[in-house]
Amino acid sequence: MLDLIIVGSSAAGAAAGIWAARRNLKFKIITIDTGGEVALSGEVSNYPGVIETNGFDLAKKFKEHLDYYKVDIQTDSDVKEIKKEGNVFIISGTQLGKNFEERSKVIVLATGSKSKHLNVPNEKEFYHKGVSYCTVCDGPLFKDKVVATIGGGNSALESAIMLSSIAKKVYLINKNPEFKGEKILIEKIKNLPNIEIINGALTQEIKGGNFVEKLVYEKEGRLNELNVEGVFIHIGMVPNSQMVPQDVRKNDLGEVEINTKCETSLLGFFAAGDVTNVPYKQIAIATGQGACAALSAISYLNSH
Amino acid sequence: MAEQKKVKIYSTPSCVYCKMAKEFFAQSNVEFEDVNVGVDQEAAQDMIKKSGQMGVPVIEINGQMVIGFDKERIMELLNLKK
């Protein structure tokens, strides 16, 4: 049986893997891909020691570091369930359509988060038919079209800025009266003539035929329609925590609750990074937490 | 590989799953044609028509369309070992 299984291999999982490898633990990483949300980030300019890079290249560096220590990484694996029987954790899921099961004494959960959906009518039906959660991926397909970005944080602001250079017009639909993102981005947006800001607007529905044609929003009790061909949704993230055992306590947002040692409410089950209730979701914080969770896991293994 | 199938990837330069797919092809010694639909509007329309959707990547393998970096489906169509 393995000492440790790390679930996930983005910032937190990679760091946990490096620390575990240097302690010669018998362990593996089980993950969908190596990179996760880090790989999907655009420009990264706040990771200490690296003045400017992008998420994809940074994620590759993490992978190189794991490969240097010959870490066993089981990729393409969707973990469906983690349960504890006695003192053993059993992880099960599917890898490229086939079932797998693994056992370990300790778990470090580093599964991160994924884009939040609006949950409005037709959002699902128009996914990739005008609805997108990734402006950097799909944005270039909307050249000279009218589009909308939904959200008020940094990723929504960055989405609108990118789209303003591609699309004819960008509506920026923010449910709050003001933006939550950084001032520098807000100023930039205000100076871009083809972005129209609509604050205090709640998206109600997406309409169309084969592709998106309209967006319906409510503002001050009245419904309004916009003719748009693209809807880019950037309203935050939800944690990938659905597979954890019932005894692992989560908060209202579904984040796994941890203490300063990255311990959860279940003995032997540690968690790190964006899947947890750590207040700031940053790459630098997630790597630090990955190290913390690995060290706590090692300490637990030594005393049990 | 016994036969080289015709592989075309419709991508944008900033799309990470496109990069992952291209790296996967390179690692698997699969030759492919890369079409940047961010600049080639005609190819973009062609992709939308053939796949019925606007997300990238779209990967065409011998006329069959794969939407997204669906590794399982790609491996199946290319007869690559899992």
For A95-140, write each residue's pLDDT tens digit.
998 999 999 999 999 999 999 999 999 999 999 999 999 998 899 9
- Check for a shared fold between A2-114+237-303 and A117-233: yes
The label of the residue with tokens 């007869």 reads: B79
CB A130 within 8 A of CB A230: yes
| Residue B37 located in a structural domain | yes
Confidence of residue A39 (pLDDT cuts 50, 70, 90): confident
Q: Is the ipTM of this complex over 0.90?
A: no
What is the DSSP track for A25-47? --EEEE-S-SSHHHHH--EE--B
| Residue B62 located in a structural domain | yes
> Which chain B residues are closer than 8 Å to A134 by Cβ?
15
Q: Lowest-pLDDT range, A25-29, A44-48, A94-98, A148-152? A: A44-48
Residue A271, pLDDT > 90, answer: yes
B8, HSE (Cβ side, Cα atoms, 13 Å): 15
Structural domain containing residue B22? 7-77
Q: What is the mean pLDDT of residues A272-288?
A: 95
Residue B5, pLDDT > 90, answer: no
| Residue B17 located in a structural domain | yes
pLDDT at B82: 65
| B12–A138 CB contact, under 8 Å | yes
In whole angstroms, give the CA distance from residue B63 to residue B50: 9
In whole angstroms, give the CA distance from residue A217 to residue A214: 10
Q: To 5 degrees, how large is the angle CA A194–CA A197–CA A199?
A: 175
Please indicate, yes or no, whether the overall pTM of this predicted structure exceeds 0.90: no
Q: What is the mean pLDDT of residues A65-77?
A: 97
A130 — contact with chain B (CB < 8 Å)? yes
Q: What is the mean pLDDT of residues A207-224?
A: 97
Q: Which candidate from A76, A97, A138 shows the least CB-CB separation from B55?
A: A138
Q: Which candidate from A76, A128, A141 shows the least CB-CB separation from B37?
A: A141
Residue B3, pLDDT > 70, answer: no
| CATH number 3.50.50.60 given to A2-114+237-303 | yes
Range among A152-161, A268-277, B36-45 with highest mean pLDDT value: A268-277
- Domain ranges (residues) in chain A: 2-114+237-303, 117-233
Mean pLDDT of chain A: 95
A117-233 topology per CATH: FAD/NAD(P)-binding domain (3.50.50)
Beta bridge partners of A169: A146
Residue B1, pLDDT > 50, answer: no
pLDDT at A42: 73
Mean pLDDT of chain B: 90
Beta bridge partners of A148: A171, A231
In whole angstroms, give the CA distance from residue B62 to residue A87: 51
Q: Chain A to chain B, count of Cβ pairs less than 8 Å apart?
A: 68
Total tally of structural domains belonging to chain B: 1
B14 — contact with chain A (CB < 8 Å)? yes
In whole angstroms, give the CA distance from residue A134 to residue A234: 8
| A136–B14 CB contact, under 8 Å | yes
Q: What is the mean pLDDT of residues A35-41?
A: 82
In whole angstroms, give the CA distance from residue A255 to residue A76: 23
| Residue B67 located in a structural domain | yes
Minimum Cα–Cα distance from B39: chain A residue? A140
| B14–A55 CB contact, under 8 Å | no
pLDDT at A36: 84
CATH code of the domain containing B51:
3.40.30.10
A76 — contact with chain B (CB < 8 Å)? yes
| Residue B69 located in a structural domain | yes
Question: Which residues 252-281 of A are in CB contact (within 8 Å) with B?
Answer: none
